[in-house]
Structure 1
Amino acid sequence: MTGKQQRVVPEGTQAIYDHYHFAPAIRVGDMIWISGQVGIDENFVAGEDMEQQARFAFEAIRKTLAVAGAGLKDVVELMTFHTDLRGEMEDFTKIKDAFFPKDFPCWTALGVSQLAAPEYKVEIRVVAVVGSGA
């Protein structure tokens, strides 16, 4: 991989790229930056609760990393945005820990007043380094 930017647009996300004008991820060399992922399913329907939304978001991250040539083990940083940081942190952490059961990445959690749609409870962005989690 060269130092040039490579847009990563997984199958099923081209419409988002075209309509909202942002890449789901960008890879430069061994670094991957994934745009914030919200808790929606493949039909763009939000999960019913925090656990389901967190699971949907982490699955989208896993899929995007795979297309970019990496895996969850290569994640070095999580940044999460929560509309109810204190009220739903336990539910979120349970799902996060299922995806990252050991060798935890850095993590910053922020409480926010709103996300892109009123039903969204969490948005997750990550930075990964290909091959770093081997």
Structure 2
Amino acid sequence: MNSPRDVVTPTSRSALYERNRYSPAIRSNGFLFVSGQVGSRDDGSPEPDLTQQVHLAFRHLDEILAAAGCSFSDVIDVTVFMVNPEQNFEVAWPVVQAHWGEAPFPTLTGVGVTWLYGFQFEIKVIARLRD
């Protein structure tokens, strides 16, 4: 029986996804649905510096997008989760913008949260798959 999920997993972090029991991304109907990415170190622990944490989250996101044959320019929808946005927004947002690319920009939903399993920033996206 074929799996109903076409999973995309970057080889560099496959053990981490297997251990945590979720798929990094799923291809479906011309789109790529990417799980929330955080700024974790290779062992899965949080990077303590917020600026570096955001850079790492984008690095992990870019690895997944590349594994699916995409890049951030294919992203159409973004959801960002941030702990304590009143305090962390001014630190995190310039890093986000550095990875954002040129217009037209994707849609964005920003959500302030109280807890992200020890992380301060998470990014989740939907991208269109290339033909």
Q: Shorter-chain TM-score: which interval?
A: 0.7 to 0.9
Partner residue, 1:98:
98
Matched, 1:114 2:118: no
Secondary structure class of the residue paired with 1:22: coil
Is the CA contact (8 Å cut-off) linking 1:37 and 1:57 kept in structure 2? yes
Aligned length: 127
Superposed CA offset, 1:81-126 (max 9, x none): 111112111221101111113222111111111112x2x1111111
Q: For residue 114 of structure 1, what is the amino acid of its counterpart?
A: W
Secondary structure of 1:19's aligned partner: helix
Write the mapping of 1:1-134 to structure 2, written as runs, cut at 5 A: 5-103=5-103, 104-116=105-117, 118=118, 120-131=119-130
> CA separation of 1:108/1:129 partners in 2, compared to 1, >3 Å: closer, same or farther?
same
Provide the alpha-carbon RMSD of the alignment: 1.7
Q: 2: CA distance between counterparts of 1:106 and 1:5?
A: 25
Structure 2 CA distance for aligned equivalents of residues 78 and 123 of structure 1: 10
Q: Which residues of structure 2 form unaligned runs of 5+?
A: none
Give TM-score, length-normalised by structure 1: 0.86
Q: Return the alpha-carbon distance in structure 2 between the equivalents of residues 31 and 131 of structure 1.
A: 9
Runs of 5+ unmatched residues, structure 1: none
Give the letter aligned to residue 100 of structure 1. Answer: W
